[in-house]
Amino acid sequence: MLQSIRDRATGMFAWVIVILLIVPFALWGIQEYLGGGTAINVANVEGTTISRNTLNSQVDLQLRGEKDRPEGEELKKFRRDTLDKMIQEELLYKAAVDSGLTVHEALVVDKIRNNPNFQVDGAFSQQRYEELLRFNSLDPTGYQATLARELLIQQYIGGILNTGFVTTQEVNELLKLQGRQLELSYIQIPLEKYKQNLSVTDEQIEKYYQEHEQNFVTPEKVRLNYLLLSSESIQKQINLSEQQLQEYYQVHKDSFTTLEQRQVAHILIEKKSPSDKEDSPSAQQQIEKVYAELQQGTDFSEMAKKYSDDPGSANLGGDIGFLEPGIMPAGFESAVNELQVAEYSKPVETNLGYHIIKLLAIKPATNKSFAEARDDVKKTMAADRAENLFLDQKEVLYNLTFENPESLEIAARDLDLEIKTTPWFGRNGLEADKFLSDPNVLAAAFSNDVFSDGNPGRSINSRLIELKPLPGATGEQVAVVRLADYQPSQPQKLQEVKAEIRTTLANKLASEAMNNDMQSWLKQIQDGADMQQLAQQQSVLYKDAGWIGRGEQGYDPILLSSAFKTPKKSQAKASYSTSVTIEGDGVIYAVKGIKDGEVKAEDPMRNFMSQFMQRSQTTAELAAFIAQLKAQADIEIFEERLSSEDIL
């Protein structure tokens, strides 16, 4: 029963609406289906409107669980990109309908029944299905309509993606390109060299501060009020009498019994496969030979190492450890049960092959007395009751915070929970605080409903948040949060950012000086100076890498990327250019030769490359088709509503 409850509860609230998605932007259709009242629209697509609330919900969904949420202009761009994808989905849906495609109701039902999130013990559960939809404020009719819509779009897109093909010649050219090698040498110029003896004046710092003052602001911060419900805290409050413990022990006595265990070793000869030579000895002949040698007194362990086909036990003398009843095949187990310690069996056949089995030791079955099992009984009973209570209280918490969205007090009173307040934190959370570094908490804190433009008076309670296990904690934890206070971003004073600016300017000035030298040395090399001699004169690293490939280990990836993009103008002359490493060091490099990769008919990469090219081709065709749909469609976007400050 406990496992059934656990299966029913696991992830129920964590899945949220994400369980609905087949195509990433599946939800907004159902939100339109369920929505009511007057909506402020942000777009009109061929007569179908997209409301601002729908866009807000879709943005929240896409950012749910993201720790680094976009802000300012980046958030506006993200919102616009999200809207563009919603428009794209609507156009694809209309095109699918216009093409005459349909989705049979039976397919929708089949998808629902085979969705693991709606199953208990591997079978569809109507109760779990309805619970998940209810907790996400959905109903079966709306969910099925959205699922049918997305299956239709998926079917339509599949028809486009499955039409592409590539030729053998195209694959060969890509294999040549992928296997291409360069003959490379280079000079590496350390940036740190230019930072030495570099001074940054206060005047330079102040000037930089004034020119970039808009970049020096503290991030906006919030504080949250929240309720935390955990199965662990519930378990600590459970008191059990000795009589209850005794009764549980008597009912579940078998749970505190250790079955007999037998330590066995075996020699396995696998059955002959169809690919074996006809004149090779059969598995049965080989096992009979091994058995005959054992009968002559040969050591079992040495025979296992020499002959056994079981790679896991052969080097251990055939030892496969202690086994409980019911683990091995019936024939194998029957043979083991007939043996005395140190005896070995005659050859035994199973589906794996032929075995000779030796019994090494026996651990007899044991029964724990109540006194010995008492602590385990208490722990098991308390955990079982706590999980049941946790599930009940979780549902009460959900209902009370949903029905009373402006306050946590009613839920706190009825469930005897403390309303806690977090310290100040920004959109990236607090790394030292496990609660405020949980991505689900951060997503809820800055969601449209909770954040409410930093206005606590407009904030409403979040949905139930499934928390990641905290260090040292056991069991499940959920929370509900709401905005307690808001602190807008503030300009930082010069003194607060002086050290940061000094470092930035030092890096900038050092890079400029290094780049000046790089360009000067590059010109000298192009005019005929020897790279190695120049490196020695300037006391910097010179390396002749020889022939190397694109993913060669031990070389800076930015350098390799730059070198492979450098055109080779002449077979006789090297091509020279510059790059910068990941660490910021400067590089002057020479590409002295290029040779394509060898093309083999049996290249293991051929199939992958073919699939890659086909997918790239069909993806490009799909993008072109969508662009054509957009160009021909009547689409109106209300930019002033999209960028309004009260959107999110």
Please compute the mean of the pLDDT values over residues 15-19 and round it to a whole number: 34
pLDDT value at 349 more than 60: yes
Who's near 367: CB < 8 A, 6+ residues apart? Answer: 253, 256, 257, 258
Please compute the mean of the pLDDT values over residues 123-128 and round it to a whole number: 82
- Rounded to 5 degrees, φ, ψ at 326 are 95, -5
61 CA to centre of own chain: 16
Who's near 68: CB < 8 A, 6+ residues apart? Answer: 427, 428
CB 16 within 8 A of CB 443: no
pLDDT value at 20 more than 50: no
Looking at residue 549, its pLDDT comes to 92
Q: SS3 helix, strand, coil % of the chain, rounded to 5?
A: 50, 15, 30
* Tens of pLDDT, residues 74-111: 888 888 999 999 999 999 999 999 999 888 888 888 89
Please compute the mean of the pLDDT values over residues 262-274 and round it to a whole number: 84
Please compute the mean of the pLDDT values over residues 395-419 and round it to a whole number: 94
Looking at residue 474, its pLDDT comes to 64
Looking at residue 35, its pLDDT comes to 39
pTM, rounded to two decimals? 0.50
Distance between CA 286 and CA 270 in Å, rounded? 10
SS3 27: coil
The residue assigned the tokens 């010649």 is 169
Q: Strands 123-124, 119-120: parallel, antiparallel or unpaired by DSSP?
A: antiparallel
Distance between CA 470 and CA 200 in Å, rounded? 46
- Summary mean pLDDT of the chain: 84
The region, left, alpha or beta by phi > 0 then psi within -120 to 50, assigned to residue 340 is beta
76 CA to centre of own chain: 26
pLDDT value at 534 more than 60: yes
User: What's the burial of 341, exposed, middle or buried (CB within 10 Å: 0-12/13-18/19+)?
Assistant: exposed
Who's near 63: CB < 8 A, 6+ residues apart? Answer: 69, 70, 78, 443
Q: Of the spans 216-220, 375-379, 382-386, which averages the highest pLDDT?
A: 216-220
* Tens of pLDDT, residues 64-75: 656 566 777 788
Looking at residue 60, its pLDDT comes to 77
SS3 93: helix
Looking at residue 29, its pLDDT comes to 43
